[in-house]
Amino acid sequence: MAILRKRQNSEKIPIHIDVLMLCSKYVRALGSLYLRIVGTSVECYKYLEPLYNDYRKIKYKNRQGKFELSHVDEFVDSLLREDRVCDVILPRIQKRHILEETEQLEPRVSALDDDLDAELSEEEEEEEQEEEEEERRKRRSPSPERRSRSASPHVRSR
């Protein structure tokens, strides 16, 4: 909280992001909040989005004074999407899609995208194998219509 109060005095404290990422989950959450307050839009997305992969549980006190259970990734999501977090009004940041259009940020690649790509490629391979097997079956044995026609050339259909 002292860090946040210094922000009110408009002093910008240098923050070492690499150290922040190695700290405990609560130090990480507090540092993320500080970065969201003092950082630029690009810095916020660049340093906070990797925390979407942190699923550790955290407890925080809500407005009624009761403790609630959340996760680091949910806290980071609220930092990037909401105007008010932990009863602190956050400065506005540009939307991610605008930063992507102006080429200030690369398109975000989710950790789930890799899993989906792997699963889709496996499904495509299975479909290709099934199609190949179907083609082999068609080549090996003639269809029932062709068998009945070729069985006796002298019998004519009525």
For the chain, the domains span 2-107, 109-141
Mean pLDDT of the residues in the chain: 77
pLDDT tens for residues 57-114?
999 888 888 999 999 999 999 999 999 888 888 999 888 888 888 888 787 777 666 6
Question: What single letter denotes the amino acid at residue 1?
Answer: M
pTM of the complete model? 0.61
E strands, 17-145, are 57-61, 67-71, 84-85, 88-89
Position of tokens 């922040």? 20
